[in-house]
Every structure is written in C-alpha cells, then in structure tokens.
Amino acid sequence: MKKFQFRLHPLLTLKKRKEDEEIRNFSTIVSEINLLKDEQDNLNKEISSLGTGISERIGKSMNIRDYSEYIDISRYLNLKISNLEKDIQSKQPNLDLARIRLNEASKEKKILEILRDNEYKKYKKKLQKVEKTELEEYITVSHFLNQDSVDLEKKTNDKKTLEEWEDWERREFDKEETTEDKPELTEYEKLQQYYDSFNK
C-alpha cells in the first residue's frame, strides 16, 4: 500500500503561511500599542514623582515660580499622555481587523488539519485491514504447507513400513524356498556336517 498523502496538502501549506503572516501582522500592531502604553506609564510615573517632590517642598520654602513650573510640566506631560492615548485608540481598529483576519486564517487552517487527520485515520484503518488480510493469508498458506509436509512424512513412513514388510516377506519366502529345494540329509550326511563343524 502506498504512503499516506493528503490530497489538499498544497492548500494546507498555503493556509499555514497565511496564518503565520497574520500572526506577524497582529504581533506588530500589539507591539506598537504596548510601546505607546509603556511610554504612557513612564510619563505617569514622572508626573507622580513631580507631585511627590512638590508635596515635600510645600512644607518648606516653595515660591510661586517653582509651583508654576510644576503646573506647566504637568500640563505638558498630561498632554503627551493624552496624545499617546489618541495614538493607541487610532491603532485599535487595525488591531481589531488584524485579530479578525488572524482568527479567520487559523479557522481555515484548522479545517484543513481536521480533514487531513480524518483522512489519515481512514488510511490507517485501511492499512490495518490490508495487513490483517495479508497475515491471515500467510497463516493459511503456512498451515497448508505444514499440513502437506506432515502428510508427505506420513506417506513416506507408510511406504517405509510397507517396504520393510515386503522385504520381510521376501526373506521368509526365500527361506521356505531354500528349505524346500534342499533334499533331506541322510544320517551319514548329518554326521559329516557335525564332524566338519568341529574341524572349522
């Protein structure tokens, strides 16, 4: 059976690339917004630090000019924070659009991955069925081959037994024939044979 190959693999590759592209785009916008927020946080810390400094100096000698400078700096920093907030808000529609596009790309890729996984499960099931069939055929053939071998051995053993029986019969028959062909010995011939057996 041939190796598994997803028929929509080229399309899945394209969808993966599309998702990666949307992830990069979304990440870029998020990074830009985070930088603006970090800058806002730093400005807020600076305003807080200035406020703490003014509070400490109020009890001591603080003139109108110092207080006026503090007010000017605070206004300037708050204006920067406000502008940063506008920049963040202006990027929000792009962030929302990038999120939607990323979700769409991820869904399209996920659908193809589910199709691929389902096809692979079917392929595995079919492969297991083929392997099972091949194994059953192998076992069946092996059984018949072994059975033939046992039958052949039995036949061979039966043949040997028959040959042994025929051989024994032949020998017995030869003995009988030999005995029948020989005339009966006279008493003298018997004594002569007996005497000859001592001289051997």
Structure tokens at 121: 């499960």
Q: What is the rounded distance in angstroms from the CA atom of residue 54 to the CA atom of residue 42?
A: 18
- For residue 195, the Cα-to-chain-centroid distance in whole angstroms is 97
| DSSP states along 118-147 | HHHHHHHHHHHHHHHHHHHHHHHHHHHHHH
The domains found in the chain, sorted by start residue, are 9-132 (1.10.287)
- Angle at which helix 9-58 crosses helix 64-181, to 10 degrees, equals 150
61 pLDDT exceeds 90?
no
Strand positions, DSSP E, 88-197? none
* First-to-last C-alpha distance (Å) of the chain: 85
**pLDDT per residue as tens digits for the range 138-191:** 888 776 777 655 555 555 555 556 666 667 667 766 665 554 455 566 665 666
User: With bands split at pLDDT 50, 70 and 90, how would you rate the model's confidence at 43?
Assistant: very high
Structure tokens at 3: 């190796």
Average pLDDT of the residues in 80-88: 94
Q: What is the pTM of this model?
A: 0.58
Q: Which residues contact 116 (CB under 8 A, 6 or more apart)?
A: 6, 8, 9, 12
SS3 174: helix
Is 90 exceeded by the pLDDT of residue 14? Answer: yes
Q: What is the mean pLDDT of residues 10-16?
A: 93
Instruction: Give the dihedral sign, CA 18/20/24/27.
Output: positive
